Amino acid sequence: MKIQHHTPNLILGSSSIYRKQLLQRLQIPFETASPHIDETALLGEKPEATALRLSENKAREVAKTFPQALIIGSDQVAVLGGVHLGKPLNHENAVKQLQLARGKEVVFYTALCLLNANTNQIQARVIPYHVKFRQLSNQQIENYLVKEQPYHCAGSAKSEGLGIALIERMTGDDPNALIGLPLIALTEMLACEGIEIV
């Protein structure tokens, strides 16, 4: 692993344990910090734009505390038929989301931002991932939600857990994007900042 001595500290701007676990796969040192921002979509804003704006806002919020660091911001927006599927936050909303999604395709837009807080250079992109849900019965939905309680996951399904059983097929460039942190794109961005993973 070649990390240059002048490389700034790497900060993951997220409180998500799943993003933390993904970043640990790259075997580079990093810290985490939780950005506190308003995650409301703007009126008329496209889902890709929402995810990108929020990922950048998260990174810039963390930069206030770590002005010399490289900061990773990420955000995900799920969309079904043009409608945003946010985090359900409770059982009733999760049931509604999965009933809407059954037999249909949901697109998860995961935005990734790498901000060099020292130079203010920013790299950002959005990685889409398409998920076709199985034709689920109400009982299957109920069984899943009782077991996994994915109330803080956009679209109410965690593909890295039992949620995989709800899915008929998945297509996209990076399966890590669906979990919340596109590692393929991140590896490229880090290389541009002098951090080579291997």
Query: Residues with catalytic annotation?
Result: 75
Q: What DSSP letter does each residue of 60-102 carry, written as one string?
A: HHHHTT-TTSEEEEEEEEEEETTEEE----SHHHHHHHHHHHT
CA distance 172 to 98: 21
- Please name the helix (run of DSSP H) or strand (run of DSSP E) that holds residue 106, with its range, or none: strand 105-116
Residue with tokens 């359900």, as numbered in its chain: 88
How many alpha carbons fall within 13 Å on the CB side of residue 79? 20
Q: How many residues does the chain have?
A: 198
